[in-house]
C-alpha cells in the first residue's frame, strides 16, 4: 500500500512553526509521507492561530478554498490543528462540514490514532489540554537548513486580560534542560548555525531548579559557532542573571524582544501586565548598561478598551524613549472568554486605525534613524543565502537581527560569517560590502 501523504499549512506564531515540525515528526514515524502541496496530499492540516479575529478569518477563507478541492477529491482528509482547534473545538466540525479532525496543541501524539478514526468513518477529535505534555522525547521533522525553532516551554499562566493564549495552550510547563541541549547538539552536528528558543514567557522557565539563564548558558556552550536567540520575555520577570548571561556569552544574541503593549500605567493595569512603565524603562536602561549595544523589539496593542488619546500619546512617548529596533503593532481585537471581552470595545475602528498608523510611521522613522547611525560601521553577518531579489546579492542578519544585503562572491556561502561595512540603509535593511570572511564566530566585527 502506498504511504498516505500529509501536507501542513502553518499560521500564527513561531510556536506553531515548531509544532508543525513536531506533528510531521510524529506522523512520519507512524508511516505517513510528506506531500509537496495540497493537491498531492491525502491529508491536509491547517495549524491555526486565534490571537486576533483576522487570524481566524484567514482560516475560514482558506477552508473555503479547500472545499473546492475536496469537492473534487472527497477522500482528502481536512484537519484543524492548533489554537483555533482548541478554542472552537467540535463547533468547527459542526459548522464546517468539510472538517474531519480538530486537534489542539496538547493532543498531537494522538494524531495517528485520530487519523485511523477518520479512515474508519468517524471524526478525529482531540482537544484536551495537558498540564504535563512537553513532547520532550519527540524528534521534530526538519528540513536541513541554518536556523531552527525549539519550543522549550508550552502554555502560559500570565492571563493578560486581552489574550486567548492561556485558553488555547493551557498551563505553563517546561521541557527538560537535558532534552533541549540534546536537540541542539543534534542540530549542531547537522550544520545548523542558529537556534531560537521559544516560549510565551521564557523567563519563567524552570526545570528541576534550572532557570532560563541556566538553559541559555547550557545551549550556548553546545557550539560556540552557533547563534542562540530566544523569545518572548515578559518585562515583569526578566532577571539580572539573564542579562549577565547574555553579556557573558558571545553567541547569545544581543537582541531582546520585550513587549510593552502600552505606555499607560492605567491601561497596563487593565491588561493585567503586572509592571509599570517606570519599571519597564528602568529594565531597558539596566539591560543597556549590562549588555552594551543590545537592541530591543516590542509588541504594542492599540485601542484597548477605554484607551484615550492621552494613553495613546504615552505609548508614543515610550517608543520615543526606548527607540526600538523593531515593533509588531496590532489593533485590539476582543477575544471571547478573556477578561477584556467583558469590557466594552469602545475605541472605534477608525480611531484604532488612526492610532495604529501613527505608531507604525513613528517606528519606521526610528528604525531608519537607528540604521542610518550604522553607516560606516562594520557588522558581523551570518550568511543565510541569496537575496530574494537577485542572486548577484546575498543576505544575512546581524546579531541584533537586522537584515543585511551584500554582493555575492564565490568564496562566500550559506552558513559563513562575514564582516560587512555598511554604506546604505533603509528602515528595514542594511546594504554594504564584505570586508572580511570571518574565520571564527564572534558576536560583532572588530
Q: Which residues bind ligand SAH (CB under 6 A)?
A: 51-52, 162-163, 165, 200-201, 232, 234, 259, 261, 299, 301, 330, 332-333, 335
Q: Quick check: 13 binds ligand F3S (CB under 6 A)?
A: yes
User: Which lies closer to ligand SAH via its Cβ, residue 234 or residue 355?
Assistant: 234
How far apart CA 284 and CA 4 sit, in angstroms, is 51
Complex with ligand SF4: residue 105 or 166, whichever CB lies closer: 166
Judged by beta carbon distances under 5 to 8 A according to partner kind, the member of ligand SAH, ligand SF4, ligand F3S, none in contact with residue 168 is ligand F3S
Q: Which residues pair with 252 in a beta bridge?
A: 228
* Helix 309-322 with 277-290: angle, nearest 10 deg: 10
Which of 237, 414 has the CB closer to ligand SF4? 237
In eight-state DSSP terms, residue 204 is G
Question: Does residue 80 bind ligand F3S (CB under 6 A)?
Answer: no
Q: Does 12 bind ligand F3S (CB under 6 A)?
A: yes
Residue closer to ligand SAH (CB basis): 231 or 387 = 231
Residue nearest to ligand F3S (CB): 12
Query: Residue 360 and residue 328: Cα distance in Å, rounded?
Result: 9
User: How far, in whole angstroms, is CA 432 from its chain's centroid?
Assistant: 28
Binding residue for ligand F3S, selected from 22, 26, 49, 381, defined by CB under 6 A? 49
Q: Which of 134, 161, 168, 233 binds ligand F3S (CB under 6 A)?
A: 168
| Residue 153 within binding range of ligand F3S, rule CB under 6 A | no
Q: Cα Rg for the chain, rounded, in angstroms? A: 23
Residues 294 and 324: beta-carbon distance below 8 Å: no
Minimum distance of ligand F3S from residue 179's CB (angstroms): 21
**Helices marked H in 260-327:** 265-270, 277-290, 309-322
Q: Tell me the closest approach of the beta carbon of residue 81 to ligand SF4, in angstroms.
A: 18
Instruction: Name the segment binding ligand F3S (CB under 6 A); options: 164-172, 179-187, 224-232, 327-335.
Output: 164-172
Question: From ligand F3S, ligand SAH, ligand SF4, none, which one binds at residue 333 (CB under 5 to 8 Å depending on kind)?
Answer: ligand SAH
Smallest gap from residue 198 Cβ to ligand SF4 (A):
12
Q: Which of 30, 91, 95, 159 binds ligand SF4 (CB under 6 A)?
A: 159
State the DSSP H helix or E strand holding residue 185, giving kind and residue range, or none if neither: helix 177-189
DSSP reduced 3-state for 35: coil
Q: Which span (26-34, 152-160, 238-246, 339-347) binds ligand SF4, by CB under 6 A?
A: 152-160
- CA-CA distance, 153 to 234, in Å (whole number)? 14
234 lines the binding site for ligand SF4 (CB under 6 A): yes
User: Which option in ligand F3S, ligand SF4, ligand SAH, none does residue 16 bind, with CB closer than 5 to 8 A by kind?
Assistant: ligand F3S
Give whichever of 333 and 371 is closer to ligand F3S, judged by the CB atom: 333
Q: Please, which residue, 173 or 234, has the CB nearer to ligand SAH?
A: 234
- For residues 235 and 280, the answer to whether their CB atoms sit within 8 Å is yes
Measured CA to CA, the distance from residue 391 to residue 389 in angstroms comes to: 7
Tell me the CA end-to-end span of the chain in Å, nearest whole number.
Answer: 59
Min CB(161)–ligand SF4 separation in Å: 9
To the nearest whole angstrom, how small is the minimum distance from the Cβ of residue 79 to ligand SAH? 23
Which residues have CB under 8 Å from 256's CB, separation 6+? 233, 238, 246, 287, 294, 295, 296, 297
CA dist 12 and 247 (Å) reads: 31
* Type and span of the H or E element at 154: strand 153-154
- Max distance between CA atoms of the chain, in angstroms, equals 66
List of residues 6+ apart from 327 with CB closer than 8 A: 297, 298, 299, 300, 319, 359, 363
Closest CA to 102 of 91, 113, 133, 8: 91
Distance CA 274, CA 44 (A): 41
Q: Which three cell numbers stand for residue 14?
A: 513561531
Residue of the chain from 101, 115, 156, 287 that contacts ligand SF4 (CB under 6 A): 156
We find the least distance from the C-beta atom of residue 14 to ligand F3S, in angstroms, to be: 8
- Distance in Å, CB of 105 to ligand F3S, minimum: 8
User: Quick check: bond before 262 cis, omega within 30?
Assistant: no
Q: Residue 168: which H helix or E strand, with range?
A: helix 165-169
- When asked if residue 51 is in the footprint of ligand F3S (CB under 6 A), the reply is yes
Considering only residues 164 to 223 of the shown chain, the ones binding ligand SF4 according to CB under 6 A are: 165-166, 200-201
| Under 8 Å between Cβ of 270 and 297 | no
Asked whether position 104 contacts ligand SF4 by CB under 6 A, the answer is no
If one asks whether residue 152 binds ligand F3S (CB under 6 A), the answer comes out as: no
Q: Identify what 229 binds: ligand SAH, ligand SF4, ligand F3S, none; CB under 5 to 8 Å per kind.
A: none
- Chain contacts with ligand SF4 (rule: CB under 6 A): 156, 158-160, 163, 165-166, 200-201, 234
- Chain contacts with ligand F3S (rule: CB under 6 A): 12-13, 15-16, 49-51, 82-83, 164-165, 168-169
Amino acid at each position: 500500500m502506498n504511504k498516505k501523504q500529509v501536507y501542513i499549512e502553518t499560521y500564527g506564531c513561531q510556536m506553531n512553526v515548531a509544532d508543525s515540525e513536531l506533528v510531521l515528526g510524529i506522523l512520519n514515524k507512524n508511516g505517513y509521507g510528506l506531500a509537496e502541496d495540497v493537491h498531492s496530499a491525502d491529508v491536509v492540516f491547517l495549524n491555526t492561530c486565534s490571537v486576533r479575529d483576522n487570524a481566524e478569518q484567514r482560516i475560514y477563507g482558506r477552508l473555503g478554498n479547500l472545499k473546492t478541492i475536496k469537492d473534487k477529491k472527497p477522500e482528502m482528509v481536512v484537519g484543524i490543528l492548533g489554537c483555533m482547534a482548541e478554542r472552537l473545538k467540535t463547533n468547527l466540525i459542526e459548522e464546517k462540514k468539510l472538517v474531519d479532525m480538530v486537534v489542539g496543541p496538547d493532543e498531537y501524539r494522538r494524531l495517528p490514532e485520530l487519523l485511523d478514526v477518520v479512515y474508519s468513518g468517524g471524526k478525529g477529535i482531540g482537544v484536551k489540554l495537558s498540564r504535563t505534555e512537553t513532547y520532550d522525547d519527540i524528534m521534530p521533522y526538519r528540513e536541513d537548513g541554518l536556523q531552527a525553532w525549539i519550543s522549550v516551554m508550552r502554555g502560559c499562566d500570565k492571563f493578560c486580560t486581552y489574550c486567548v493564549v492561556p485558553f488555547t495552550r493551557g498551563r505553563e510547563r517546561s521541557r527538560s534542560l537535558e532534552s533541549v541541549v540534546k536537540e541542539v547538539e543534534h542540530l549542531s552536528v547537522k550544520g545548523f548555525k542558529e537556534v531560537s528558543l521559544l516560549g510565551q514567557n521564557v523567563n519563567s522557565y524552570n526545570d528541576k531548579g534550572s532557570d532560563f539563564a541556566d538553559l541559555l548558558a547550557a545551549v550556548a556552550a553546545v557550539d560556540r559557532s552557533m547563534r542562540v536567540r530566544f523569545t518572548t520575555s515578559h518585562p515583569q520577570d526578566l532577571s539580572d542573571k539573564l542579562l549577565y548571561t547574555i553579556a557573558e556569552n558571545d553567541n547569545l544574541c544581543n537582541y531582546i524582544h520585550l513587549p510593552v503593549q502600552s505606555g499607560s500605567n492605567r491601561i497596563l493595569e487593565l491588561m493585567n501586565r503586572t509592571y509599570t512603565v517606570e519599571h519597564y524603562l528602568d529594565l531597558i536602561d539596566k539591560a543597556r548598561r549590562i549588555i552594551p549595544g543590545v537592541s530591543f523589539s516590542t509588541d504594542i496593542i492599540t485601542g484597548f478598551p477605554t484607551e484615550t488619546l492621552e494613553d495613546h500619546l504615552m505609548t508614543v512617548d515610550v517608543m520615543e524613549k526606548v527607540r526600538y529596533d523593531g515593533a509588531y503593532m496590532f489593533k485590539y481585537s476582543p477575544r471571547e472568554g478573556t477578561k477584556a471581552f467583558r469590557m466594552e470595545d469602545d475605541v472605534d475602528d477608525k480611531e484604532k486605525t488612526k492610532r495604529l498608523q501613527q505608531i507604525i510611521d513613528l517606528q519606521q522613522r526610528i528604525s531608519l534613524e537607528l540604521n542610518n547611525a550604522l553607516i560606516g560601521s562594520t557588522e558581523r553577518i551570518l550568511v543565510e543565502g541569496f537575496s530574494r531579489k537577485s542572486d548577484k546579492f546575498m543576505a544575512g542578519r546581524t546579531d541584533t537581527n537586522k537584515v543585511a544585503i551584500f554582493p555575492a562572491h564565490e568564496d562566500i556561502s550559506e552558513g559563513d560569517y562575514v564582516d560587512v561595512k555598511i554604506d546604505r540603509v533603509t528602515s528595514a535593511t542594511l546594504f554594504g560590502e564584505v570586508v572580511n570572511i570571518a574565520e571564527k564566530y564572534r558576536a560583532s566585527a572588530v
